[in-house]
Amino acid sequence: MKRNLVRIAIWGFGAMGSGMARMIMKKKGFDIVGVSDKYKGFEGKSIFEILKLENPFSHDVKIENNIERILVEEKPDLVLLATDSFTKNAYEKIKFVVEHGVNIISTAEEMAFPAAKEPELTQKMDALAKKHKVTILGTGVNPGMMMDLLAICISGVMEDVKDMEIARVNSLSPFGPTVMEEQGVGLTAKDFLDKMSKNEISGHVGFIESTYMIAKAFGLNVDEFRQSMSPIITDVDRKSPYGFAKAGDVAGVDMRSFATLSNGNKINMIHPQQIEPQLAGVSTGDYIKIQGNPPINLANVPEVEGGIGTIAICVNMIPHVINSKPGLKTMIDLPVPRAIMGDVRNLIDEE
Whole-Å CA distances, 273 to 17, 25, 97, 207: 23, 31, 33, 14
**Residue 21 or 196 with smaller CB distance to ligand NAD:** 21
**Residue 5 or 125 with smaller CB distance to ligand NAD:** 125
Distance separating alpha carbons of residues 135 and 103, to the nearest angstrom: 5
Stretch that binds ligand NAD, among 107-115, 216-224, 252-260, 270-278 (CB under 6 A): 107-115
**Residue 129 or 141 with smaller CB distance to ligand NAD:** 141
What is the β-pairing status of strands 285-293 and 160-171? Answer: antiparallel
The residue number whose beta carbon is nearest to ligand NAD equals 14
**Residue 38 or 256 with smaller CB distance to ligand NAD:** 38
Bond prior to 294 in cis (omega within 30° of 0)? yes
Looking at this protein, which amino acid is placed at residue 26?
Answer: K
Q: Does 143 participate in binding ligand NAD (rule CB under 6 A)?
A: yes
Enumerate residues 191-230 that contact ligand NAD by CB under 6 A: none
Q: Does 38 participate in binding ligand NAD (rule CB under 6 A)?
A: yes
Q: Does 109 participate in binding ligand NAD (rule CB under 6 A)?
A: yes
Stretch that binds ligand NAD, among 13-21, 164-172, 192-200, 228-236 (CB under 6 A): 13-21
Query: Strand 6-11's sheet: what is its strand order?
Result: 63-64, 30-36, 6-11, 78-81, 103-106, 135-138, 327-329
Q: Does 142 participate in binding ligand NAD (rule CB under 6 A)?
A: yes
Instruction: Draw the binding track, 309-328, toward ligand NAD (x: CB under 6 A; -: no contact).
Output: -x------------------
Q: Does 16 participate in binding ligand NAD (rule CB under 6 A)?
A: yes
What lies within 8 Å, CB to CB, of 138 at 6+ separation is 87, 105, 106, 107, 108, 109, 110, 111, 112, 113, 114, 144, 330
Which stretches of the chain are assigned E, i.e. beta strand? Answer: 6-11, 30-36, 63-64, 78-81, 103-106, 135-138, 160-171, 222-233, 238-239, 244-245, 250-261, 266-274, 285-293, 296-300, 327-329
Q: Does 39 participate in binding ligand NAD (rule CB under 6 A)?
A: yes
Stretch that binds ligand NAD, among 12-20, 165-173, 215-223, 333-341 (CB under 6 A): 12-20
Instruction: Draw the binding track, 57-86, toward ligand NAD (x: CB under 6 A; -: no contact).
Output: -------------------------xxxx-
**DSSP string for residues in 280-315:** GTPPPEEEEEEEEES-EEEEESSPPPHHHHHHHHHH
Report the length, in residues, of the chain.
Answer: 351
Enumerate residues 232-291 that contact ligand NAD by CB under 6 A: none
Q: Does 34 participate in binding ligand NAD (rule CB under 6 A)?
A: no
DSSP 3-state of 53: coil
How many binding residues for ligand NAD (CB under 6 A)? Answer: 26
User: Minimum CB separation from ligand NAD for residue 211, in Å?
Assistant: 15
Q: Does 87 participate in binding ligand NAD (rule CB under 6 A)?
A: no
For ligand NAD, the binding residues (CB under 6 A) are: 12-17, 36-39, 82-85, 107, 109, 112, 140-144, 176, 178, 306, 310
